[in-house]
């Protein structure tokens, strides 16, 4: 068509529009030209649509399954037994999944460690599954690579190394999985110079080395705190972060309960230089310098040896200033004999041998200290690690495969190490995130999150458990054992590897003669199986008393010097969970500080240095490395000690600067959370040392206020005449004293006040929910805080908001100190909505957003709340939490962790503990469906469910046979601020002390 003018087009749309249409648009063809009517129609529609769309949130369609998976009923949870991968303790878990995604981690009730409980770290680890910073595919030099290509290249390099006879090293943390150990061994067997090196970032190697010396076997015993009447702990934070905290805490708590009918309680002595969580629970606490610990232990050993008539070569032992206290401890320990237990967290082999001597002399081996079924939870060897570092320094290593550890972060002298690692021809990391070490690796072959993977574990000899996936792997990750098997030339799915290993090595140890498939299925369902002890581990070794080497005089620094003590925190451990916001926001059980590590100083030392909480101090070790971090004044710490938590300062944690709400006065910290204190770790010949380094501390002249959820305030504030009866205590003697001798008010039936202004306008029939919290059992471990956060979708608000006292935790643990620094006593008090019968919050809400249910619950209707905050002002317990902002929920992946049974609250509304009303309803409906009465204990609130100490009991106060009714009648029961006539539904059971401290005679002050 020569007449047609050339057509120019501006866009693809224009080009593809039929010519006549576009022309008619250009020319104002009447067919397309807007008329007045059509304009009004369009305008009307537009405004209508705008108005309509602003009226309500867009609907999101729920699409049913095309093929519904077996056993899955939408809206009903499924539970999978698995094994925790959050630390090497490997407790059993029961993971709740809803609609195909895991949303809550609980302890496996069938597992002897957990018994249904899970620690804070284990529960929080579910957040890591949905972390958008997890590696989603393998990388080569930071670039995405296909698994097949990565495998091909790695195999080629490994082959070259094999031909050249170069060293191939697999570096891991302690491997508790028998299959993994077998797979590693199998992989390395293909190399002439292949070796598996394992180390623990928080090492307990000294215990193993000491047993090698005294018992002739490099073993870590299993400690049975549930068998111990007298516990003497030298710096072992066994309730906090030491080896197997959940197992210890459950065992410990089982001996700490004291009631009128059974007025006994184990006696726990803690000899330590800083105030640990464990020390905060001790009946007797000696505040000693780090260098004195061994000396005190030797004195104790000498006194025990004297009583036992055993020989103990302690000639030249200098006298100890704690002699009287040690004498009393020795007496108790000797009286307990086999029911005694001495543990030490020291990395000094000498001290460990002395402890072994004491345990041996009192006969604790075989009762409280178990070598026949030893623990495999810390088997790393610091000697092997030192050898590997030497090999790396000499450039001898040809291939280094790093799994489950982050040596560049958690070992000292990281610069040298990373330089040495860079010289290795092939470095492969299987890290879940691009951490400090993985960033040096040639290939990163990311492992699954443990909730996506098949695995197994044998944390202690004879206790095997299986880990099964609770969700299909979300990303292109691959299990470490599959990866290694592939490189060994035998690619197999992890499940097959585990089944094969179990058929060969685990099933034969099982008793009962079940066929393998039955054994496997039962173990998979139950999560755990008890089998015979692992062959070759844990014979009954003989004791060599001569190997116990006494510490004859206290070591230590110069009179004015300060000694550094590095420790690991209950939430952060060695830093492997540095990307977990729940754990960062969980207050430290003792200091109540979130989102940071800090240099703790005793009040006396802080005064001497002229620093206060939040002042930045410069800590210099031996004049070399210096770090600046905020100071924290810690009562009960030894005056010569600076204690700093490990595990902080992970690369990439500056992401949490953006976790809080953005507004113009927000002051987020856009740098990593805390500083890495691993630079100060030192090494002796066979154990890495975390304490004992001489440091100087100077003020840096700046401030960095810590985000603390509780500051130092006294229960006997200035100007008041009496101590606030918020924490109440009895002694064992008072507990058994005849009722007449008990204080009269304890017998006073609370709840009936003369001239009560409250009308009976909410009669309670049917259930009446109540709770009992045993202050005597509670160790303050904070597992309940994370349980509550996970169950109730409690938002994380970030450091800046916590600093503004706007943390959102529905459940907090109040910590109160009493006594002097030398005789410090600590009380932990979980504080949550008390569901008062006469709730002050309910009367003042103008819109009836908080009301009383027929079952005694104090309910909060988020939809109705207009946010006057009057209820929070009027709550004497200060447990109400306000949504100051719309807390960011942009991370769609992270949002998958939400519990669909609990609404996510919007900005401007009040929220608080609901007694897990969703669990109450679920169980009531289930009971109704089954046509059965609701059994006591069927409903467990999230906090109760997870409490390792089983301090929390929830139940029906109208049920005369319920546990909570029985506990409410206990002589120990009291209600906080009962005198206000709020009539709380939560009863606390008084702390039971062995005796009143001497200082308490005059009614000592209790400081918070």
Under the rule (CB under 8 A), what is the footprint of other proteins?
661, 663-665, 710-711, 713-715, 717-722, 724, 726, 801, 804-807, 812, 814-816, 829, 831, 840, 843-848, 864-870, 872-874, 876-878, 880-886, 907-910, 976-977, 980, 982, 1008
What are the CA-CA distances from residue 558 to residues 190, 357, 684, 696, 905 (Å)?
53, 30, 21, 11, 56
Q: Record the tokens describing residue 708, joined without a space.
A: 């603390």
* Residue among 700, 715, 713, 676 nearest 614 (CA): 700
Nearest CA to 378 out of 226, 500, 243 is that of: 243
DSSP character string of 969-987: TSTTEE-TTGGGT---SEE
In the complex, least distance from residue 570 CB atom to other proteins, rounded to whole angstroms: 19
Of residues 294, 375, 288, the one with CA closest to residue 342: 294
Q: Which residues contact 410 (CB under 8 A, 6 or more apart)?
A: 201, 574, 575, 646, 647, 678
Task: Report, in Å, the least distance between residue 977 CB and other proteins.
Answer: 6
Please identify, using beta-carbon distances, which residue of 62 and 757 lies nearer to other proteins: 757
Tell the smallest beta-carbon distance from residue 846 to other proteins (Å).
4
Taking the C-alpha atoms of residue 258 and residue 268, their distance in angstroms, rounded to an integer, is 14
Q: Which is nearer to other proteins, 333 or 909 (CB)?
A: 909
- Residue 910 — φ and ψ, nearest 5°? -90, 150
Nearer to other proteins among residue 475 and residue 723 (C-beta): 723
Token output for 506: 């685990």
Nearer to other proteins, 328 or 866 (CB): 866
The residue among 373 and 815 lying less far from other proteins, judged by its C-beta, is 815
Spatial distance between the Cα atoms of 665 and 662, rounded to a whole number of angstroms = 8
Least gap, CB of 811 to other proteins (angstroms): 13
Among 729, 787, 727, 771, which residue's Cα sits nearest to residue 948? Answer: 787
How far apart CA 114 and CA 107 sit, in angstroms, is 5
Q: Residue 565 or residue 909: which is nearer to other proteins going by CB?
A: 909
Identity of the residue, 360 or 594, whose beta carbon is nearer to other proteins in the bound complex: 594
State the nearest-atom distance from the C-beta of 666 to other proteins, in Å: 9
To the nearest whole angstrom, how small is the minimum distance from the Cβ of residue 724 to other proteins? Answer: 6
Residue 34, number of CB atoms within 10 A of its CB: 11
Q: How far is CA 390 from CA 204, 393, 425, 434, 841, in A?
A: 21, 5, 16, 25, 65
List 104's β-bridge partners, or say none. 96
Contacts of 167 (CB under 8 A, 6+ apart): 193, 194, 195, 391, 396, 397, 398, 399
- Token readout for 19 is 């010519």
The DSSP element (H or E) to which 195 belongs, if any, is strand 194-198
Q: Which is nearer to other proteins, 196 or 806 (CB)?
A: 806
Contact status, residue 706 vs residue 798, Cβ threshold 8 Å: no
Rounded to the nearest whole angstrom, what is the least distance from the CB of residue 848 to other proteins in the complex? 5
The single residue listed with the structure tokens 């729920």 is: 62
Shortest spacing between CB 802 and other proteins, in angstroms: 10
Distance CA 842, CA 827 (A): 30
| Min separation Cβ 1002 and other proteins, Å | 17
CB of 515 to other proteins, least distance (A): 57
Q: Which is nearer to other proteins, 432 or 814 (CB)?
A: 814
Shortest separation between residue 321's beta carbon and other proteins, angstroms: 34
Output the smallest distance, CB 415 to other proteins, in A. Answer: 42
CB of 906 to other proteins, least distance (A): 8
Q: Which residue lies nearer to other proteins by CB, 446 or 1008?
A: 1008
CA 987 to chain centre: 26
Element (H, E) at 401: strand 397-403
Between vectors from CA 266 to CA 1004 and to CA 279, what angle results, nearest 5°? 55
What is the rounded CA–CA span in Å between residue 303 and residue 322?
Answer: 13
Please report how close the Cβ of residue 898 comes to other proteins at its closest, in angstroms.
21
What CA–CA distance (Å, rounded) separates 252 from 280?
14
The token pair at 842 is 């309910």
Burial of residue 380 (number of CB atoms within 10 Å: 0-12, 13-18, 19+): buried
Q: Which one-letter DSSP state was computed for residue 449?
A: P
Q: HSE-up of 323 (CA within 13 Å, CB side)?
A: 5
* Residue from 277, 280, 282, 257 nearest 952 by CA: 257
If the CB atoms of residues 311 and 721 are measured against other proteins, the closer one turns out to be 721
User: Nearer to other proteins by C-beta: 531 or 808?
Assistant: 808
Nearer to other proteins (CB atom), residue 697 or residue 811: 811
Nearer to other proteins, 101 or 838 (CB): 838
Q: Is the CB of 554 or the CB of 589 nearer to other proteins?
A: 589
Q: What distance in Å separates the CA atoms of residue 485 and residue 665, rounded to the nearest whole number?
A: 54
| Residue 953 Cβ vs other proteins, minimum distance, rounded to whole Å | 22
């Amino acid at each position: 068509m020569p007449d047609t003018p050339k057509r120019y087009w501006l866009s693809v749309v224009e080009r593809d529009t039929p010519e006549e249409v576009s022309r008619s648009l250009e020319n104002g063809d009447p067919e397309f030209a807007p008329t007045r009517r059509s304009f009004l129609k369009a305008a009307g529609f537009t405004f209508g649509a705008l108005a309509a769309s602003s009226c309500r949130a867009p609907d999101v369609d729920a699409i049913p399954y095309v093929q519904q998976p077996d056993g899955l009923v939408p809206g009903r949870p499924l539970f999978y037994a698995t094994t925790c991968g959050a630390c090497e303790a490997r407790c059993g878990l029961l993971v709740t999944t809803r609609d195909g995604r895991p949303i809550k981690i609980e302890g496996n009730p069938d597992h002897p460690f957990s018994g249904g409980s899970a620690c804070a770290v284990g529960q929080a680890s579910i957040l890591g599954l949905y972390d958008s910073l997890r590696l989603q595919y393998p990388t080569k030099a930071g670039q995405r690579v296909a698994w097949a290509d990565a495998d091909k290249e790695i195999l080629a390099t490994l082959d070259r190394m094999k031909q050249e006879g170069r060293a191939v090293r697999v570096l891991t943390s302690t491997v508790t999985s028998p299959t993994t150990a077998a797979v590693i061994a199998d992989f390395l067997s293909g190399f002439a110079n292949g070796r598996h090196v394992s180390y623990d970032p928080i090492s307990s190697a000294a215990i193993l080395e000491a047993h090698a010396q005294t018992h002739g076997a490099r073993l870590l015993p299993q400690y049975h705190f549930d068998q111990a009447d007298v516990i003497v702990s030298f710096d072992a934070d066994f309730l906090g972060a030491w080896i197997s905290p959940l197992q210890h805490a459950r065992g410990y708590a089982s001996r700490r309960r004291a009631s009128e009918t059974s007025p006994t309680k184990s006696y726990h002595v803690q000899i330590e230089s800083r105030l640990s969580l464990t020390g905060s629970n001790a009946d007797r606490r000696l505040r000693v310098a780090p260098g004195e610990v061994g000396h005190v232990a030797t004195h104790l050993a000498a006194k025990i040896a004297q009583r036992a008539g055993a020989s103990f070569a302690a000639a030249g032992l200098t006298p100890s200033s704690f002699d009287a206290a040690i004498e009393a401890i020795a007496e108790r320990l000797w009286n307990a004999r086999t029911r005694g237990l001495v543990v030490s967290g020291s990395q000094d082999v000498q001290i460990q041998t002395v402890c072994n001597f004491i345990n041996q002399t009192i006969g604790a081996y075989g009762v409280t200290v178990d070598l026949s079924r030893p623990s495999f939870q810390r088997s790393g060897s610091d000697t092997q690690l030192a050898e590997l570092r030497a090999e790396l320094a000499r450039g001898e290593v040809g291939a280094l495969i790093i799994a489950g550890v982050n040596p560049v972060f958690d070992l000292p002298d990281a610069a040298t190490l990373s330089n040495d690692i860079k010289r290795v021809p092939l470095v492969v990391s299987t890290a879940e995130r691009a951490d400090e070490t993985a960033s040096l690796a040639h290939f990163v072959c990311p492992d699954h999150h443990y909730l996506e993977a098949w695995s197994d574990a044998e944390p202690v000899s004879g206790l095997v458990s299986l880990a099964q996936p609770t969700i299909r792997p979300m990303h292109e990750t691959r299990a470490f054992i599959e990866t290694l098997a592939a490189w060994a030339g035998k690619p197999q799915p992890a499940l097959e590897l585990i089944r094969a290993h179990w058929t060969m090595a685990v099933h034969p140890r099982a008793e009962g003669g079940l066929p393998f498939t039955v054994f496997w299925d039962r173990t998979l369902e139950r999560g755990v199986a008890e089998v015979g002890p692992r062959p070759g581990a844990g014979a009954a070794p003989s004791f060599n008393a001569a190997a116990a080497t006494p510490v004859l005089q206290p070591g230590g620094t110069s009179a004015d010097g300060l000694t550094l003590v590095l420790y690991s925190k209950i939430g952060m451990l060695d830093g492997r969970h540095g990307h977990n916001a729940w754990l960062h926001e969980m207050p430290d059980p003792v200091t109540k500080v979130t989102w940071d590590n800090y240099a703790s100083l005793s009040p006396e030392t802080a005064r001497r240095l002229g620093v206060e909480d939040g002042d930045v101090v410069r800590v210099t070790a031996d004049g070399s490395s210096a770090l600046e971090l905020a100071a924290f004044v810690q009562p009960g710490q030894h005056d010569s000690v600076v204690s700093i938590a490990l595990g902080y300062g992970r690369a990439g944690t500056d992401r949490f600067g953006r976790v809080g709400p953005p507004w113009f006065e927000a002051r987020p910290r856009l740098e990593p959370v805390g500083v890495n204190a691993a630079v100060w770790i030192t090494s002796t010949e066979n154990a890495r040392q975390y304490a004992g380094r001489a440091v100087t501390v100077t003020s840096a002249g700046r401030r960095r206020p810590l985000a603390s959820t509780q500051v130092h305030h006294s229960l006997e504030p200035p100007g008041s005449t009496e101590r606030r009866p918020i924490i109440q205590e009895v002694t064992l003697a008072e507990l058994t004293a005849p009722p007449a001798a008990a204080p009269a008010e304890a017998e006073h039936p609370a709840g009936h006040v003369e001239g009560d202004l409250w009308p009976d306008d909410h009669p309670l029939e049917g259930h009446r929910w109540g709770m009992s919290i045993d202050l005597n059992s509670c160790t303050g471990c904070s597992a309940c805080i994370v349980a509550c956060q996970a169950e109730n979708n409690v938002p994380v608000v970030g450091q800046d908001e916590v600093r503004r006292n706007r943390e959102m935790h529905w459940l907090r643990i109040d910590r109160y100190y009493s006594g002097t620094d030398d005789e410090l006593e600590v009380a932990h008090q979980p504080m949550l909505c008390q569901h008062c019968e006469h709730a002050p919050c309910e009367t003042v809400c103008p819109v009836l957003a908080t009301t009383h249910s027929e079952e005694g619950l104090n309910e909060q209707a988020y939809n109705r709340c207009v946010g006057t905050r009057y209820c929070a002002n009027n709550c004497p317990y200060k447990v109400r939490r306000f949504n100051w902002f719309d807390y960011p929920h942009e991370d769609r992946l992270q949002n998958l962790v939400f519990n669909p049974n609990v609404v996510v609250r919007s900005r401007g509304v009040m929220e608080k503990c609901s007694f897990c009303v969703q669990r109450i309803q679920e169980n009531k409906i289930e009971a109704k469906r089954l046509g059965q009465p609701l059994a006591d204990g069927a409903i467990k609130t999230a906090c109760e469910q997870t409490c390792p100490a089983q301090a929390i009991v929830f139940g029906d106060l109208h049920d005369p046979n319920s546990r909570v009714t029985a506990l409410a009648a206990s002589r120990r029961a009291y209600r906080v601020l009962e005198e206000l006539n709020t009539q709380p539904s939560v009863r606390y059971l008084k702390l039971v002390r062995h005796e009143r401290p001497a200082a308490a005679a005059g009614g000592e002050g209790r400081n918070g």
